[in-house]
A = this chain, B = another copy of it.
Amino acid sequence: MNKAIFYHAGCPVCVEAEHSIAHALDRSRYAVEIVHLGEEKHRVSEAEKAGVKSVPALVLDGVPFHINFGADLAALK
């Protein structure tokens, strides 16, 4: 099973990306986890290590993809 982690911060841009891209992933091949970094601040460093610079971002099997722009990761620390 491949792993997909969608990091967001509850912003409108994040919600739109979650409802579209995160929900469009093939759940039979990807275990999709949605992480709200505003509520789970202890996971900001994990996102950072994966190369996430801003949210919303989707990390697919360890590779970060920034989707549009909602907020800098630095603003969530």
Closest CB in chain B relative to A55 CB, distance in Å? 13
Cβ of A11 < 8 Å from any Cβ of B?
no
**Residue numbers in B under 8 Å from A60 (CB-CB):** 20-21, 24
Copies in the complex: 2
Cβ of A42 < 8 Å from any Cβ of B?
no
Interface size on A, residues (CB 8 A): 21
Q: Which of A16, A27, A28, A67 is the most central at the interface, judged by chain B CB atoms within 10 Å of its CB?
A: A67
B-contacting residues of A (Cβ < 8 Å)?
A: 2, 4, 16-17, 20-21, 24-30, 58, 60-61, 63, 65-68
Mind listing 21 A-B residue pairs with CB under 8 Å? Answer: A2-B24, A16-B63, A17-B65, A20-B60, A20-B61, A20-B65, A21-B21, A21-B58, A21-B60, A21-B65, A24-B25, A24-B29, A24-B30, A26-B26, A26-B27, A26-B28, A65-B67, A65-B68, A66-B67, A66-B68, A67-B67
